[in-house]
Structures are given as C-alpha cells and as structure tokens.
Structure 1
C-alpha cells in the first residue's frame, strides 16, 4: 500500500482561515472563525487526500535560531489579534480529537519541521503533500513533494510542483531561495537587495543560474545602478538567502511512524463541535449519537379517558407536549400530569374538551410546575385554554443556574442532576426529517417520565437558586416575564398584508430599473447575482482594479465592492441591487410566509433562555433584526400596524442604556457627571480623549469616540477597533489607552471585575444573574484573555437586559392598574413597542417613561425616548 504524508503549516493555515472568514462566535461568545476554517480545510484534506500519515507543525515562539543571525528577522510583523490568538487552543484541541499528530520545537519554525519531515518521507518512498499559506515552502517541491499554497481563502489553492514552478517563474524549485535572497520578503522582514523585485530577480537567475554565481559575476550585469546595488548589498543578499532557506535537518524528536493517521475520535469530535457550535459540520458528519445502555425502571401510570378531581389537584407537574419548533401553529401531542395522587397521561382531545380541565388550568390557586411555561401557555391558548398558576419553570431555573449549558430537552437537564429514568426526545421521536410522533402508548410513557423528572428537579433547583441568592431573580423577574412574553406572542402584531405586497411590488420595480442601469453601464446583459459573471464584467470588461481573487474567479463581496465604489458608478447600483434583493426575499417574502391566516398577524417566538447575558432574541420571524439602514428597509416597518383602525403604535426606547450602566457599575466620576448633566456622551468622550473643547469636536472625532464608547462595553481589542474605524492597530491601541486615562473608574472596574471573576469563577449583573467563566484561570494566555474581556462585558450587557425585563414587568402591572387597553406587542433590544387607542396616548406619554426610567435606580438617570404613529415606521 502506498504511503502518503500530509504536512500542514498550522500557524499559516489558522491565519488564513481567520482573515478569510468573518468573525464568528459560539454561544459562549468565543471567536471560532479560524477554527471553523481550519476544520473545513481538515475535512477536505481527509476526504480528497486520504493520507496514511499526517502532522501539523506550529511555530514554538517568536525567537528562532535565525534571530541570532539577523535580530530583525520577522521584526515588522504585527501582534496577533487576540480574536485569533484565543482560537489556537481550540485548533490544537481539534487536532487531538482528530488524532492528528501536532508538533512544535523551541527555536525552530513550523517550516523547518515540515522541511525535515518532507525530506525524510521522500527518502522512505512516501508521497508528500505540504499545505501552507506561505510561498516560502514552495522551495520544498520535488517529484515526490507537492506544496499546496492557499490563495486568498483556505480551500482555493495552487499546487506547486517542480513543473508548475518552472512554468510560473522560469526557474527550478531549488532556486526559490535565490529569488528570496535577491528580492527579500517584507512579511518576514528579509531585506534582500533594495530595488530588486520579483521580475528583476527572475531575469538575473535565468541568466546566471544561482545567487552565488550572480554575485561572482556582477561585472557582467547590464545596468550600472543594478550592478552597484548588487555589489553594495552582496552580504545582505547572501544573508537573505540564508534566512529564507528552510532547514531540512532540524533536531526534531518526532519520527514518521509517529505521524501515522488511523482516523478521528468520533466522541471527542462531536463534543468539540457542540462546544464550538459547529452544527452544520455535525450534520455533515451524519452522526446519530447512541444513548448509553440504561434499563429504565418500570413506571405505573394511568391512561386517563375521563378526567376527575383526583387527577387535577393543586401542586401538580404538567407537561404540554408540542413537538414542532413553532408552537403557534402546531398541535399538542399529549399531556402528562404528576402529583401526590399518581402519574397520569391525558390525550389532547380528552383535556381540551373537558370543562373540568379548563377550569383547573385557569385556576391561579392550582400551582403547576412546568418545563418551558411560555410555550405551554401559548400552546394551550391556541386551544382557547388559559394556563394560570405556573409557579415553577424548570427550564428557566436551569438557565438561571448556568446559562452556558445548552440543554436540548428535559432528559438532558435531568441526567445532569443524576435523574436517569428518561430517554431523550431524539431517541423517542427520531431526528431531522425522520422526526415523528410514536404510537400513543410509547408517547404516553415518555411524557409521564418527563413529568416525573420535572417533579424531582423542582426541589433540587429551588435549593440551588436560594443557595446562589438567585431565587428573587427567578421568582420576581424571569417567571413573571415568561407570562408577559407568552401574552406578547399570543397577541402578535398585525401586518398590513396589501401594503407589504405593494412594497414587494415597488422593490421589484426598483430592481428592474437598477437591472437596466447596470446593463447599460456594463454594455451587456448578464446575471448580476452570479459572482463569476459579475467579476468578468467588473475586472475584465470595465478593467476595475482587482482587490481579491477566489477559487472561482474574482471576489465581488460587499466589502470589496465598497472599496471600489469611487472607481465606477456601476458599483453603487450593484450594492443597491443586492440590498434590495435581500430585503425582497428575506423580509418581504419571508414575512408574508409567516403571517397567520386566522389573525393576519405575525407571532414571533421570544427566546428567553438562549443568551448568556440574559438578552432576549426572537425567531419565526426575527423582528429584532429588520434592517433599517436602507430607507426601503425602514419602510418595511410601515407594514406593522395596530389591530384596530383607530389605534396607534407607541414606541419607547432606552437611550444609551449600556453606557449608563457602565457609568454606574464602574462608579466613574467623569461618566456619571456627563450623564447627570445630560451631555452628549460621544462628544464628551471626544473632548476628553482628544483634549479639545466641545466646539472643536469634529464629526469624525465624535464617530471615533462613539466606536470606542460602544467598543469598550463589548471588551473590544485594538484589532477590533482598527477594523471598525479603518485605522491601524497602533492608532486603535493608543485610542483605547487615552480613553482609559480619561475614564479611570472604567479602567479600575475592568481590572477589579477580572480579579473578582478569578476568585469566584463567575460575574454577576445588578440583579444577580450569573455568567460562569471557567476559562478565566486557563493556562493558555489567549483563552484567558478572551475570558477576561467576557468578564468585563457581561455585567454591563446583562444588567441592561435585566433592566428592560424589569421594565416590561412593571409596565404590565401599570397598564392593568390603570385599566388601559394599551398592549405591549414587541421588545426589540432596548425598545418596547405598544399598540393603544389614541385617547390613551397622553397617559402613555406620562407612564411609559416614568416606569421605564425607574425600573432600576442607578447613580445616573435612565433616559427614555418615545414617539407614536399609525405604523411602527411612523413611531420612530
């Protein structure tokens, strides 16, 4: 059997992946784009190359043996962005899960490890494939060694063989180092000969063969200036060649047998993919996890056909089973109840037709323990049944106790607490397209087991919540909020379907007009949505400068087009065409699909137990992310109207709530003073950072100050800020430094919260919501650094989320006490959207800001802006 060794330049590929993909985060907020790109490349290699042996080499540190020869080697390189650094630990974990050998050697580079192993493998008859983003490694190409160099992305590669190198450069592979000696390499700070570029270097090598031969015969070089340069920088050229030469006899302690690849550890890969949130990659693996063999204890339960008082007592645990994700439009599969009298399964029809069940469900005094009470309330409400008296929700309790845990169903949270007599929903219902409801007997037993598990969990969770001093957060905030969210979901918001359809028609017309304008400027018709065809038009026919190439041609991504906007009027039209196209498909057509036939409303689902900061999100449809940058995007809000023709939409939102929370938590005198005097905080920041008077603050200064203000809240790094402001990392770093000098309280807070997190293992919001950060004591510097930024940010974001949740609860009480008809319809980030009769507006203008501004008392005033109008659009 032929042997094939794949050698991967770990640092280079991770860098390529990081810069090729947008910043991605998992549910814990850890950046994952480099690991994701690395994984994609790894999966592709395993599929296409089918290696028998593999090794990934890493650089061991900044100092190598080359620095003793030339101390400025790699001196110009920027510091690795922390968003990338923190991912290297996961890349190594990934390789361990895949059982791929990884290796690094002090004082040597990954290139030297690869060079040494490639020579050894070639001698032993291996076929060798080297994969890197660094063209230096092309010097290793031989008849047995192929070097794949990634281009702009990670899957788009050029395969460097001796023949390819000869064709591309006109010199043999072994002369690549001579070329580097002459032209140098700015990325590695190899000087070369000043003024000699690739073209000149190749011309000289074709004529003289080697660098040494050239330097011995400089008198034969044509061109006086070039001849002088070669003679003056002779030693530098020789040094540069030496620096560029990959060592093929490094003292490595890894041998070829150590690199044997025998397949990955399925369990470890699954666990890591889950931790990183790589759901699409899990689906590609097509893995169905088998549950541990566990014999379930027999249970004796009653299959209820006639409801009676014995079944429906107070202090019951109830399961309302809705299988599908969107419970607004799904049938209830069955109901299970557990109480002091026994275990019961009730078929849906028996419960929903029973007046006794309806009375019991609606009676507030009948206390009920549930799992996902919001879902249960809404599902029953669609059957015209009110569910009151929900006093304990195990899903919410588990979320408060540890928001980092992703519990998929009752079985997973139960097993985490040692309760084993239950199967997962996946085991009972199946997965994906095969998911279906089993026969009633199996369903009944499964639901009863779920109810028994909840019954046991309640006692465990109550004790833990009290121990953590989080019982009030549970009872006074999250539990009442679940009821309010259920009311909002059930109520929905009315959509003016004809208006939405008209907008779709208008956008279609604009798209047609834009299409004609683009064709006219292009001089021909083509498929605008085809990046390949568009690339040909822009970069070949119109000769625009090429910014980036991909495997399939030219990159025409939005960021590339924006850079070219000033080069040709066609670019602006194409950008508008794309944005309008997305509005049409995602928001116009997408919203029309989810308008409920019976209500003419959309009933979004609020995720109460998803984010680690406590923020709410929404799905089916996501009404928190309707784009409002384009006027056409903002106009989509015109389609959201009150449910009565003589009512209006009233919108109120917190002004700069996170910065106000920061001022309070950090106890920073400068920030507190600015908010108490109602100053423009971004202008104030610009004044302090740039040391200028208010009237001297330019719009650009304010823009930069705004980016830092909000960036600080999110624990931004110099790299992140440099990307936001399109400035250098050095400038961004100085900016952050000046900010922290201007606001010393913020600086102290950042240092103290990190120390606090290291001692406790978690951080808390103002209302005692916790976020556990075990990585804060990690040995790996980069993982620890990310955890520190998370510790700084979470109390701010989480407290802001708690405040608006408290405001929602207080508003619901106030509307009821004032006997107003106004209804809370939506929560969008820091904004609350109501509908109300016109004659209640005067009252709302008074009570909404009053309630929201006093939901929680801070050292600085909370400020609420409000407006109203016939549509959501007009209320802004």
Structure 2
C-alpha cells in the first residue's frame, strides 16, 4: 500500500507571493476590486490539487503574530511594512473559499503558520505520512526529514521544486537539515528582524557551520576566530543564541493532527462557483469544475456542411445561413463551443457567388464588427491573412486572403465599399491596428467607429482591456488563445497563414463575434458613466489621428547617434574610474549587492542603511538620491546609471527600431494605459527621453526633418497644469498673474517670500517653482527639502505660507478629496473619470496615495484632454488644407511637426490658434513654439 501524503499550505506566504507577482499588472475586476492576492493563492491551491491529487490537505494561517517570540524579543518582525490593503481584504474571502471547498483552516491566536505546520508535520510523520510543506519560505528547510519535504512553487509559474534532505544539504551546505536553524541564527533575517551575529552573512555562516557544526559550538570555541570577527562574535554571544531561538520553528504547538479532519473531501460546488462569479474568476471557475467533476468546460468540433446546418438549426440559428441552398462554393464551419450554453455558427466565404452575396448583405448593415488577421504584430510590416465580420451575436464570416500581393489587393478592392462607407458603423477591438494594416492596402476606414478597448478604458480605466479579459468578465466566455494555434513566442511560433482555414475561421470570427457582443454591452455603460461624449468626440477621433502619426513616423540621424554612443562610452568610463577611486577598489557598479557592500559596509556612508526584503542593502534610486548631496561617490553612481540607461535604452536601441521600408522610427501611442487619460508611447518610448541632463537632451538632436524642404516645429503648452489648477480652484491671485502674463514662479515667490517681484532671487524663484509643481502631486515638507536646499522646517514653513497665499487652492484640494470619498471618483474638465477604490482605506499610506490622485488626476487628466482636442482639430485643418506639413509626435504637453518650409508661417499660426483655443478656461492657455534642424533645436 502506497504511503499516504499530507499537504500543508502556508497561506500568507502564498498570498503575498501571488499579490507581488502581479504587482505591476494587478488583477482588478469590474467592481474596482484588486483580486491579485486571492487569484494568486487559489492558483497555487489548484496547482497542488491538480498535480498531486493529495489524500490530505490543510491551510495554515498566521494570527496575531508570534506571542512567544515577541515576548523574548519585542522587536521581532517590527520593521515589516504594513500589510497591503488588498491582502487584508483578501484573507477572509480566501477563507470563505476554503470553507466552501471543505478544506480545513489551521489557525491559533499568537501562533505563526510555520509553527503550526512544523507541529503537524512532525505528528503526521509519526503516523506514517509523507508531509509536503507548500511554501516559498526557505526557513522551513530546518523541518525537512526522510518523510517531510518542502514543496516550493517556482517563479513565474515554472512548475515546482521539492526539497528533501539532499536539496537542503546542497542549498545550505549543511550535513543535517536541523543545522539550517544555526545558519539562520548566525546570519539573521532583516525581513523578520532577527538580528543574527554582526558581520556574519551567507558565506560566513556556511563556513562556521562547516567548521563548528552549530551556534553553540561556535560560541564555545571563539578562540579559533581571529581579528574583528572574534571580537564581534564574543561580544554578541547572547544575541546569537537569541537569534537561533527566534529562527527555530516550534514543533510543540497546541494543535493536533487528526487524519480524518484533513481528508480532501467533496466541496460545496455551488458556493465556490458563486464566490468565483462574484470575484469574476471565469477561468478559475472553469478549472474548479474540471478538477472536481472531471467535466470538460469547452469542446470544439468541425463538422460537414450538412451537419453544421443541422446543429445550427437545433441551436436556434438555422435561419442564419446567408446563402440558402445556392452557396455551393461556401465552406461552413460550425464552431459550437459549449461554454455557458452558448453556440456559435461561423462560415468561411470563398470567391465567386458567395463573396458577391456576402458583400451585398454586408453593405445593407448599419453596424458591423470586423477583425483583421495578419502575419505579425507590427501593422506596418504585417500582411493580411484574413478578415472576420460579425453583425449578429453568435454568427459571423471569415474571408481568407491570398498570399500574392496583387491578388490580396484585388480582394480588398471588393471590400473597399464597406470600409469607406460613411453610413456603416465599424466596430473593433484596438481598431487603430486594423486601420494601420488597411492603410497599407490604400484603404481608409470611414464612418462612425466603436472601439471596445477604448470604451472599456473609459468605463473602468484601472482594469485590463484585452479582449480575453473582457470576454471572461462581461460575457462569461473564454475565447480560444492565439497560442493554441500558432504556439508561444519564439523561433518555433508559426505564422497565422499556416493555420488550417477551418481553424482560422473559428479563431477570427470568434474574435469579431465577441467584440460585437462587447459593444452591445459597453454602449449603454458609456452613457451611464456619462463618458459617451468623451468617447465619441475625443477618444475615437483621436484614434484616427494617432494612426496617421504612427504611419508617418519621424526621421532619425543614425550617424549622430553613433557618435553620441562613443561620447557616452567615454563619459561612462570616466565615471567608472572616479567611482573605483572613491571606493578604493574595482567592483561591479551595476550589481546592487556589490554596490551595497561598498557603500554601507566598507565606506559606512550611513549608520542604519535601508535593506530590501531579501536582506540586501537597498541601492534604489530614491535611497541614493537622498544621500547624493553629501557624498560625491553616490552622485557619480547616479550619473553612471543615468548615462548607462540612456545609452542602452535610446542611443544604441533607436537605430535598430528604424523601419527598413520607410527608414523612419514609428512609435506606437497607447490610449488605454494611463488611468489619467495621458497617452503612452511604446516601441520606442519617445515620451521618457530624459531631458534634464545635457546628454539626455542631446538624444533629441537625432530626430530630424524628412529632408531639406522641411523643418521640425515644436509647440508646447506653457505651464498648462498650473493654469488648470488656478482655473479649477478659482484662485484669483494666481489667475490674475497668468492674465497679466507674469512669470508665475516669480509671482509666487514674491508673494510667499513677501518681496517685490523684481527683487525675487533665482533661489527664491526656484523654490517657488518646486512648490508650484509639487503641490499638484501632494509634496510634503520632507519631499520639498529633498528637492531643494531648504531644511525640513523651512520647507514646512514655505508650504504653509504657500497655502495662506493661495487659500482657494487648498480648499479646492480638500473639496476634491471629499468628493472622491463620497462618489468614489474624480473627473476632468471633460468628464473623464478616475476611480479611486482606496480613498476610504483604513491604511493611511494607501489612503494618502488615493487622496493625492484625487487632486492630481483632474489636473493631469484635463491637460491630457485639452491636448487631445488640439490634436484632433489640428489634424482636421491639415487634412482640409491639403498641407504637406505632418503631425509626428505628442510628448505630454508638446506636439512635434514635420513642417514644410513654404507653409511654415501659415501652419504656425494655425497650430498656435488651435492649441490655445482647444478649451476655454478662466486662465488663458499659452503655447511656446520653436523650429529647428532637429527636435532639440525646435524645443
């Protein structure tokens, strides 16, 4: 009889792991709820059950920390950050899921999960069980034995690692797993605030274990140590023994292993599914059904024409066949996927009579969803493989395209009347991509547009907007993944063209069908959220503007970048030498670990250096920036990092991003990334070129006009965010300064420092400027003192005086926070909403961030809305006037144009007029303009 197995899950370790794995792309459902922690834990739980099919399983939770450890060392875990709000909210929901699944929860007040797991593991071992401790926490290695194992989820979903005795021996360089306690006690743990022996790190601890075998033997034989290490160890013997005690997992807690309690039993399926539906966990719901019932949640079959018609008729879709009995040259693929009782009927349209009849019907429609399938992700180089159409739920058509370019062009000509019809609404998901693909075939998409990605962005800006997520969330439907057809990224990935036609049809028409259904769902929601006009009048027209800009691209001077790269190499080498000299040795400056040792152990630049969660010294930007004013080596390190990043990210990378056909760089503007409404730039990102340094500014020199008949023209809103906050707050003093055309920073300095404006010093103006812009982002006295030469008390006094000078500004900020608390969102001047789910959080840090967003989002978002209006109006004028001048780039408050020199005076006047009159505020909008042979000169 095979040995029975018990799996014990360390709840918080898995919850935190899941939460932080998704921290850059959190899972937010349509209610604005962050479900990352819950999803991460449930994925880990299901993975164990699927892989291992355990006999017995339980989940252990910490509750109120470790009373015993805090009693002997009150500082135990004292430096841990407060638990994130999303995790605190997640825990009771996770426990509800476990209860519904009839999985036992082990929890005792004042006892940690590792002690509970340690106790039960040892008891189960005595009863003949193999126990697997499911946790990423390495401390559990001390418990490993012949029948107790660590079951560690690997990073990025790459399976699991099982640590038995040999793995622990190798990992910690010990003879017995129990010696891991000595290792941990010697080394200490910054995360748990276990002090350890001063000066003993990983290598030294392993050396001591090899030499002495235990903490006790080390402390009894300090005469064998030398120098400072001997002094440190002898002076801290009590600390060493305390640390070992703190690191020891208890195996005698008040908990008993009862095998019958831990048997994996039949869950309350209905209750679990209800919780998953509430959380909008579609895929996990499907997984749950598969795991516990063995049923498949989706089946796909390709059938003959006659069978397809029969099945479609049975599904209530028999009347759908567009071609009746005449469609002899049509291949019909009924892709019937039984997911939540939905049925699909998809057809492939072949040339001849079928195509003619299809187009006749297509042109009769008022609203049609279409979706292009191509050979690649870059619309400027990709070729059409097919186009799918849908105008009725569950039904649609697919037109495959020939590979020969002339034949593909002939086919697109047949479809031109549809795409260029002004009366048929075109629906799509990320329509900008399709518009750019069709532009290669000289087809312009006209008429009203409805982009489901943009619509959802306005409805729920903080959620993800890709079609799979939207289908699962709003339609309770899981689409076929493209990787199922062409494989994952890499050299073995196939072209969509190589996929059989029937599968192309299933995949492509499903996308069009789902997108059509999403439109039906989102249209009323846009009205309900009062964002329909923003969608119709701003985001959709802008989509076409951005497509035109991206197709146009901008010229790049590769030779200049090559010379700049050489100059940067020289600068970086000089900084390296200076850093090595100041450090007294050579080391890897790019290694945070080595850098931390140099700065904080060798040079001892600070008394109590900040550490990361892994116990390393933190050398993050904010940490070093704070120290840079006092230490030349740190300023050199920051400069080194800046130049190295500039070189790798822009100077060396930009030439490789030039399109071979156009010889230009084509950035991709994304409308659905920043929740404030700002555009994002990608591949390459032209919005983040650092311009505060001389070398950073020089990168802009590489962007040049198309030829000698053109010049680059840059038009930049002057202090638009300050103008907006002045207008929104109705702060008369500030409004008056703008109306008079005064230097707003000098004007502010004159008022807060109580001096005539003509007597304002450069330093006073600089400090006032920092406050002016910092107030928008909720700058504190601490933050202001870091950014200026002011002390913290001087900074506080300056901020207090600022608010007394501009009282309506402070009232406005307070009103915004109050509005957000009551309504859950704030709005821009055009009604763009920023939802703030944490505005009433009990966590002061989380709540403070939401309060700052409540003030900042309407200002930054209104600036984004205004420049979008200007872009739409300018593009319209350029097109109507048949100008050769083209709009190329948008960088936050700046627009860059390739201006035809003979049109320059005319277009400058037009651009300035359109930008300054894009939206009427109580404060005038002002635009600075410049021209030049490159972007730097123009700016």
Instruction: Check if 1:348 corresponds to 2:401.
Output: yes
Deviations 1:557-608 (A, max 9, x none): 6667667768887666655444333222221221111101111101111111
Match of 1:327 in 2: 379
How many residues align? The count is 767
Distance 2:757 2:388 in 1: 66
Distance 2:28 2:767 in 1: 28
Instruction: Check if 1:389 corresponds to 2:447.
Output: yes
2:370 to 282, 298, 318: 318
Match of 2:350 in 1: 304
Instruction: Check if 1:380 corresponds to 2:379.
Output: no
Instruction: Check if 1:812 corresponds to 2:875.
Output: yes
* Pairing of 1:447-458 with structure 2 (within 5 A): 447-458=508-519
Cα gap change, 1:394 to 1:549, in 2 (>3 Å): closer
Instruction: Check if 1:440 corresponds to 2:490.
Output: no
Distance 1:420 1:445 in 2: 15
Distance 1:271 1:419 in 2: 9
1:760 to 805, 823, 829: 823
* Pairing of 1:559-708 with structure 2 (within 5 A): 575-686=638-749, 694=757, 702-708=765-771
Secondary structure, aligned partner of 1:746: helix
Q: Which runs of 5+ in 2 are unaligned?
A: 49-55, 126-130, 140-177, 195-200, 223-229, 282-295, 300-336
Cα gap change, 1:392 to 1:567, in 2 (>3 Å): closer
Q: Give the deviation of 1:643 after TM superposition.
A: 1.1
Q: Confirm or deny: 8 A CA contact 1:403 1:771 kept in the other structure.
A: yes
Q: Give the deviation of 1:633 after TM superposition.
A: 1.9
Flag the structure with more relative contact order, 1 or 2, with Cα contacts below 8 A and sequence separation at least 6. 1
Q: Confirm or deny: 8 A CA contact 2:190 2:615 kept in the other structure.
A: no
Q: Give the deviation of 1:370 after TM superposition.
A: 2.5
Secondary structure, aligned partner of 2:540: helix
Distance 2:399 2:794 in 1: 67
Match of 1:746 in 2: 809
Q: Give the deviation of 1:338 after TM superposition.
A: 3.3
Deviations 1:524-568 (A, max 9, x none): 876655567767887899897896788898776666766776888
Secondary structure, aligned partner of 1:842: helix
Q: Give the deviation of 1:611 after TM superposition.
A: 2.0
Q: Give the deviation of 1:398 after TM superposition.
A: 2.3
Deviations 1:212-247 (A, max 9, x none): xxxxxxxxxxxxxxxxxxxxxxxxxxxxx9xx999x
Secondary structure, aligned partner of 2:669: strand
Q: Confirm or deny: 8 A CA contact 2:720 2:925 kept in the other structure.
A: yes
Secondary structure, aligned partner of 1:385: coil
Secondary structure, aligned partner of 1:865: strand
Q: Confirm or deny: 8 A CA contact 1:320 1:332 kept in the other structure.
A: yes
Match of 2:463 in 1: 405
Distance 1:472 1:667 in 2: 26
Deviations 1:733-765 (A, max 9, x none): 776555444433233333333343344333322
Cα gap change, 1:81 to 1:323, in 2 (>3 Å): farther
Q: Give the deviation of 1:851 after TM superposition.
A: 1.3
* Pairing of 1:712-723 with structure 2 (within 5 A): 712-715=775-778
Cα gap change, 1:600 to 1:724, in 2 (>3 Å): same
Match of 2:862 in 1: 799
Q: Give the deviation of 1:828 after TM superposition.
A: 0.6
Secondary structure, aligned partner of 1:873: helix
Match of 1:150 in 2: 189
Distance 1:393 1:626 in 2: 30
Secondary structure, aligned partner of 1:866: strand
Q: Give the deviation of 1:853 after TM superposition.
A: 1.5
Instruction: Check if 1:504 corresponds to 2:562.
Output: no
Q: Confirm or deny: 8 A CA contact 2:60 2:117 kept in the other structure.
A: no
Cα gap change, 1:456 to 1:91, in 2 (>3 Å): closer
Match of 2:327 in 1: none
Q: Confirm or deny: 8 A CA contact 1:304 1:346 kept in the other structure.
A: yes
Cα gap change, 1:143 to 1:635, in 2 (>3 Å): closer
Secondary structure, aligned partner of 1:368: strand
Q: Confirm or deny: 8 A CA contact 2:705 2:712 kept in the other structure.
A: yes
Distance 2:582 2:816 in 1: 57
Distance 2:779 2:892 in 1: 20
* Pairing of 1:36-55 with structure 2 (within 5 A): none
Q: Confirm or deny: 8 A CA contact 1:58 1:104 kept in the other structure.
A: yes
Distance 2:469 2:235 in 1: 67
Q: Give the deviation of 1:619 after TM superposition.
A: 0.8
Cα gap change, 1:132 to 1:793, in 2 (>3 Å): farther
Distance 1:846 1:860 in 2: 20
Q: Give the deviation of 1:120 after TM superposition.
A: 8.0
Distance 2:756 2:81 in 1: 34
More displaced, 369-378 or 769-778? 769-778
Deviations 1:747-794 (A, max 9, x none): 333333334334433332211222333444556666555444433332
2:534 to 473, 479, 492: 473
Deviations 1:372-401 (A, max 9, x none): 221111111223333223532222222222
Q: Confirm or deny: 8 A CA contact 1:363 1:388 kept in the other structure.
A: yes
Secondary structure, aligned partner of 2:674: coil
Q: Give the deviation of 1:671 after TM superposition.
A: 3.4
Cα gap change, 1:292 to 1:793, in 2 (>3 Å): farther
Q: Confirm or deny: 8 A CA contact 1:85 1:782 kept in the other structure.
A: no
Instruction: Check if 1:482 corresponds to 2:543.
Output: yes
Q: Confirm or deny: 8 A CA contact 2:626 2:786 kept in the other structure.
A: no
* Pairing of 1:472-551 with structure 2 (within 5 A): 472-511=533-572, 529=590
Q: Confirm or deny: 8 A CA contact 2:10 2:114 kept in the other structure.
A: no
Cα gap change, 1:121 to 1:488, in 2 (>3 Å): same
Secondary structure, aligned partner of 2:387: strand
- Relative to the length of structure 1, the TM-score reads 0.70
Q: Which runs of 5+ in 1 are unaligned?
A: 68-72, 134-141, 173-197, 210-240, 276-289
More displaced, 412-421 or 492-501? 412-421
Distance 2:506 2:232 in 1: 80
Cα gap change, 1:685 to 1:590, in 2 (>3 Å): same
Secondary structure, aligned partner of 2:345: coil
Q: Give the deviation of 1:260 after TM superposition.
A: 9.3
Cα gap change, 1:869 to 1:542, in 2 (>3 Å): same
Cα gap change, 1:441 to 1:302, in 2 (>3 Å): closer
Deviations 1:390-413 (A, max 9, x none): 53222222222222231322x543
Secondary structure, aligned partner of 1:861: coil
Distance 2:925 2:648 in 1: 38
Q: Give the deviation of 1:810 after TM superposition.
A: 1.4
Cα gap change, 1:90 to 1:150, in 2 (>3 Å): farther
Cα gap change, 1:463 to 1:745, in 2 (>3 Å): same
Cα gap change, 1:855 to 1:573, in 2 (>3 Å): same
- Relative to the length of structure 2, the TM-score reads 0.66
Cα gap change, 1:624 to 1:796, in 2 (>3 Å): same
* Pairing of 1:158-169 with structure 2 (within 5 A): none
Distance 1:153 1:862 in 2: 54
Secondary structure, aligned partner of 2:388: strand
Distance 1:466 1:122 in 2: 57
Match of 1:836 in 2: 899
